[in-house]
Amino acid sequence: MYNRSLRYIAASAALVLGVSAAAGCSSGSGSSSGRLYNAAVEMTNESGEAVTRLDYTVIINGEEITFPASLEQLKTSGWVPENPEEASGFYSKGGVRILLRSCQKSDDDYKVNGVSVRQRNNKDVQFTVSTSKGVELNVSTKEDVVNIYGDPDKEWEYGEYFYYEFGPEQASDRDLDRNAVGFEFDDNGIVNSIFVMR
């Protein structure tokens, strides 16, 4: 009961903070306070257990990577940096090129908070990438994304759909925002980019 109360308070705080920040938001299109409320209350189920609204796992050629991730473990599994002097940046494995984002020093390792996987960086490569909820690069449509995640919390200027665990009004920069999952689409409405940031 105590933990459930804490989650309720946290969800309420997210709602209040998100609604109060909405007036100052200038990028992208805002969303209703009703949707923000739903985002907050979806953090717990009827039993009061925590429920993750979003998935922070990408599956690349069958390899599951959940963020935040250990950079050392990613390197051990075969991901090679294009610039060994930098933690964040492009990495490749089996010809697949991904962009690791917001790597933070953590003891002797780095914590990798996010990733972008784009078709344009992998034009001549046969590969599969999906979220653990089932949105697949080069396969899924806008309609598929909405069927899985619901209406986007924010649609950025290039038509990217972004979803935020703690409320869309916290969004200020699609490349840096935490607790977000995003998708970009080609001219036919097919997913050509997947973004995860935790």
Q: What is the pLDDT of residues 110-126, one digit of tens each?
A: 999 999 999 999 999 99
pTM of the model: 0.73
Query: pLDDT value at position 35?
Result: 39
Are the C-beta atoms of 113 and 104 separated by less than 8 Å?
A: yes
Residue with tokens 């703690």: 166
Give the Cα separation of 145 and 136 in Å (integer): 9
Are the C-beta atoms of 50 and 17 separated by less than 8 Å?
A: no
For residue 102 the two structure tokens come to: 């917001």
Give the Cα separation of 90 and 188 in Å (integer): 27
Query: To 10 degrees, the CA torsion angle through 66, 67, 68, 73?
Result: 40
Residue type (1 letter), 27: S
Query: pLDDT value at position 77?
Result: 97
Query: pLDDT value at position 129?
Result: 97
Query: pLDDT value at position 91?
Result: 98
Q: Which residues of the chain carry a pLDDT beneath 50? A: 1-43
Query: pLDDT value at position 134?
Result: 95
Query: pLDDT value at position 116?
Result: 96
Quick: pLDDT tens for 104-162: 898 899 999 999 999 999 999 999 999 999 999 999 999 999 999 999 999 988 889 99
For residue 178 the two structure tokens come to: 């935490």
Query: pLDDT value at position 52?
Result: 60
Query: pLDDT value at position 48?
Result: 57
Query: pLDDT value at position 107?
Result: 87
Query: pLDDT value at position 20?
Result: 32
Q: Let me know how long the chain is.
A: 198
Query: pLDDT value at position 90?
Result: 97
Query: pLDDT value at position 168?
Result: 63
